[in-house]
Structure formats: structure tokens, C-alpha cells
Amino acid sequence: MGWKLFLRDYASFIVFQLLLVGFIMVIYMLDGFRNIDTAIYSFCISLVLLASFLLVRYLMRQRYLMKITHLPTAMEDVLQKNAKTPEAMQTEKYMHELYRLYQHELHALYASQKRHDQFMNQWVHQMKTPISVIELLLQDDRPLDKKNVQEEIDRLRRGLDMVLVNARLENFEDDMQVEQVALKAIVTATVNENKRLFITKRVFPEIHIEDDLIVASDSKWLRFILGQFITNAVKYTFESNKKIVISAIEKDDYVQLAICDEGIGIPASDLSRVTKAFFTGENGRKTGESTGMGLYLAKEICEKLGHELAITSEVGKGTIVTVTFTN
């Protein structure tokens, strides 16, 4: 098969050479064929040179032609090096680089799929808890405690929001709309969405943000990341009558929003890893509710929106989450 491909590849060159030899013969004919032996000799030499050239080219390309005329059995077959001509070597170099890009995309796809499967397994496992609690409440002969049911429904709602955001993160740019956002209105709305959580934990929010403070962001995604920071701040504040202070300062070229809590804080050994996927850390094991995805998703969204996220903490004193909006 290799030689057939070679002949097809050089067919135009062979035709050109034959036409060239024919043209030379026509010139000899017009010249009167004074020396017929010279004409025959020139014709034979031309054919011999042409055949020699094609033979040498074929021998140089034989292994490469055999490689590309046989269907591969594995992707690694593309890494074989059989080329000897500059064009074939450049083609192999191109194929090797294409294989590297393919492997990179494949590994990224596998990592994304693995992360998605792991997240779904953890999420489904944790969603069983509020469902079980609601089932137990319904089986109780006493009057239904609506407060407890509402708390479990809120947990389900937050879990559903989390899984929807995780699903949309892959096509984030299609769902993003950056606009001028009134920061205090967004923060106030997010706090109100979680007011039952504040009441249950007996934690009090304080908002210190100017009414006219405007930032460039996506209001929907901003509410999600603020919700993650606020619920984490409340969830890891185990003592009653503590405060969560949400404040913002405006500089010439940026606005900095800070969410400060008086909770248990994050150990120094965990602080650099809290935004990694599925990392629950010491605090997550204390509550048993953490999926390790909240801060990871918040960090990913901040990066896509162009916001800078920073987390500082001291065990026993609290945590400060800072989001910087650049103008």
C-alpha cells in the first residue's frame, strides 16, 4: 500500500518529467535529428535519472508511508518516529504536538468528570440527611414542627443551588452578565435570604456599606458567592450572640468587601487548602455537613468574574473573607 500512495503522491511529478523529456525530443526533431543516438541517449538517461530519484525518495519515505497507510491500534502509535525527509519530520512533529494537546484536554476532561462524580456522590449522601429528618418529623404523632421542617428545606435548597452552580460552571461565560451592581443591595438581599439561619444560630449580621457604592460584577453569581461566605461564617460560629460584620471600603481603583465573623477560625494548616475542591478540613469534620465545594466554587467564580479572593483567619477569634472588585 505504501508504494501505491507514493506513486499517487508523485504522479504529477512523473507526468511533468515525461512531458519535459517529450519536449526535449520535439526540439531534437525540429533540429532535424542530426544525431539520433544523442536523442536516444538523452531520453534513456532522463528515464534512468527519474527512476533513480523516485527509488531513492521511496526508500527514504518507505517506513513513514507504511506507518500512515496502516490504521493505528492505539493513540501512542502517533509517537513513532519513522520520517527521514524534512516534510515528513515536520509532519511528525506536528502530530506529536497535536497528541500532547489531545492528552492535555483528555486529562482535563477526566479530572472534570471525576470531580463531578465525586461531588455528586457526596452531595447525594448529604441530601439524605435532611430528607431523613423530614421523614422522622412526619412519622411523629405530635404536631409537625414547621420550624424544623423549614430548616431542613433550607438545607435542601442550599444543596440544590450548589449542584446547579457546579453544573453551570463549565459554561460560565454563556451565563455571565457583568453590570453595575449596588453592593449594599446585593449584600442585604443575601443576608435576608439566610435570616432563618442567623436566627437559628443566634448570630447577628451588621452591614457597613455605603448606599451608593457600585461595583462591576454579575449580580446572580455575586449573590451566590456572598451566600457561601455568609453561610460558612454562620455555620462555623458555634457560640450564640456573636456578630458577622460585612463592610466595604472604596479606593481609587478598587472596592474591597470584607465578611468578618467571630467563629472558631480556620487552622493555619488548612488555610491554604480551603478553596481546593472537596477539602473539608478540620472544621468540616466537626460539622459533618461540608462537601468541600462551597469555597472552591466561590473561588472559581471570583476568578472568572475578575475579583480577587483572600481569606485570613485565626483559630478561636474568627475569619475574614475579602473580595476585591477592580474598577
pLDDT at 2 over 60: no
- Mapped to the 3 state alphabet, what secondary structure does 116-179 carry? HHHHHHHHHHHHHHHHHHHHHHHHCCCCCCHHHHHHHHHHHHHHHHHHHHHHHHHHHHHHCCCE
Rounded Cα gap, residues 111 and 119, in angstroms: 12
Q: What is the pLDDT of residue 171?
A: 75
Domain segments of the chain: what residues? 175-324
Give tens-digit pLDDT for 111-169. 878 877 777 777 777 788 788 888 888 887 778 777 788 888 888 888 888 788 877 77
Nearest to 175 by CA among 214, 215, 224: 224
- DSSP per-residue string spanning 25-65: HHHHHHTT-S-HHHHHHHHHHHHHHHHHHHHHHHHHHHHHH
Give tens-digit pLDDT for 258-270. 999 998 888 888 8
**CATH architecture label of 175-324:** 2-Layer Sandwich (3.30)
Q: What is the pLDDT of residue 222?
A: 93
Rounded Cα gap, residues 177 and 180, in angstroms: 10
Q: What type of residue is 326? A: T
Buried b vs exposed e over 114-137: b needs ≥16 C-beta within 10 Å? Answer: eeeeebeebbeebeeebeeebeee
Give tens-digit pLDDT for 29-64. 766 666 677 667 777 887 888 888 878 777 777 776
Rounded Cα gap, residues 63 and 237, in angstroms: 70
